[in-house]
Amino acid sequence: MLAIECAGLTKHFGDLTAVDHVSFEVEKGERFGLLGPNGAGKTTTIRMLTTVIPPDEGTAKVLGFDVRRKPDKVREKIGVVLQGLALEFFSTVYDTLDIYGRIYKMNAENRKKRIEYLLSEFELEDKRNERIDCLSGGLQRRVQVATAFMQPPEILFLDEPTIGLDPQSRRKIWQFIEEFSKGGYTVILSTHYMDEADYLCSRIGIIDYGKISALDTPEGLKSTLGGGDIITFGVEGNVDLLRSTISKLDYVEEIMAGDELAARVENADEVLFKLSEEVVKAGAKIKNISVRKPSLEDTFIKLTGRRIE
């Protein structure tokens, strides 16, 4: 059975189509990412899959249960980390975890064990009796993620789980998601961080203006660019003119979209010097040069025509 199966999923808000006929499938045990800029429709998609709002068109099944017809069944099996900090701010860390244990009908002994385990995993032991509104944002986020793990869910949804977090909290959360998914559980996450999607996800759907424009493994997405190296020049001069000049060179495979002057070539070692000379000949002053492998971000820019903010 598939973990997620959605076909033609659509949501309108007035004239705006926030999610536009989105279809994808996720196998059990996968770590699936929705990667897209602000306003792309990630949260709306996750809200429909987690039964918070009903889809206007299309169908979505979570573990075989239709989100519209069997929302109760879906809710029993999922854990959700919302985009915002959704926490009972006036209660303590321990009590908050206890609340979620009770909601998932764990008995007192199991609750206690699980809470101790999560407090140590998320390094929150010394904060157990602090009120949540007195914690820093990073710690609050860790508590929120911990609540979703009180009862290990069959599918865990995380909507931009590390947005605006300090590196330490970010790493903790990544680690925990990895550990969790090793147990054969499914993870669906949305993010606008390239490195997060690249690192955490086994498959990524690139979403923009409510549509999924590409869906593949991180490697697959990167290789749609055709491999090779990307050479970027920091220059003084007319960048548009330079672009059209070097695009005529036969060893330049592709000019990258974006503000900078960047070109993809087969092998940077062989052509770097030649190419630099061409740039200088065209009348520009080179301030710096960098060489790198194509990244997910390059694919993203190619597909959507813009850089993610």
Ligand X SMILES: Nc1ncnc2c1ncn2[C@@H]1O[C@H](COP(=O)(O)OP(=O)(O)O)[C@@H](O)[C@H]1O
Binding site for another protein (CB under 8 A): 47, 50-53, 72, 75-76, 78, 80, 82, 84-91, 95-96, 98-99, 102-105, 131
Contact 231, 67 (CB under 8 A): no
Which amino acid belongs to residue 33?
G
Q: Residue 66 binds what, of ligand X, Mg ion, another protein, none (CB under 5 to 8 Å, by partner type)?
A: none
Residue with tokens 């960048």: 239
Q: Is 43 in the site for Mg ion (CB under 5 A)?
A: yes
Binding of ligand X by 161 (CB under 6 A) = no
Residues 6+ apart with CB under 8 A from 77: 62, 63, 65, 153, 154, 155
For residue 168, the minimal CB distance to Mg ion (Å) is 23
Q: Is 215 exposed, middle or buried (0-12, 13-18, 19+ CB in 10 A)?
A: middle
Question: Between 152 and 305, whose beta carbon lies closer to another protein?
Answer: 152
State the nearest-atom distance from the C-beta of 161 to Mg ion, in Å.
11
With beta carbons less than 8 A apart as the criterion, state whether 132 and 87 touch: yes
Report the nearest approach of ligand X to the CB of residue 43 (Å). Answer: 3
Rounded Cα gap, residues 145 and 161, in angstroms: 8
Nearest approach in angstroms of CB 188 to ligand X is 13
User: Per-residue x/- marks for ligand X, 1-40, CB under 6 A?
Assistant: ------------x--x-x-----------------x-xxx
Please compute, for residue 307, the number of CA atoms within 13 A of its CA located in the half-sphere on the CB side.
7
Q: Is 44 in the site for Mg ion (CB under 5 A)?
A: no
Q: Which is nearer to Mg ion, 42 or 222 (CB)?
A: 42
Binding-residue total with ligand X (CB under 6 A): 11
Q: Which residue has the tokens 């549509």?
A: 211
Task: Identify any residues that bridge with 9 across adjacent strands, giving them in sequence order.
Answer: 22
Interface residues with ligand X (CB under 6 A) are: 13, 16, 18, 36, 38-44
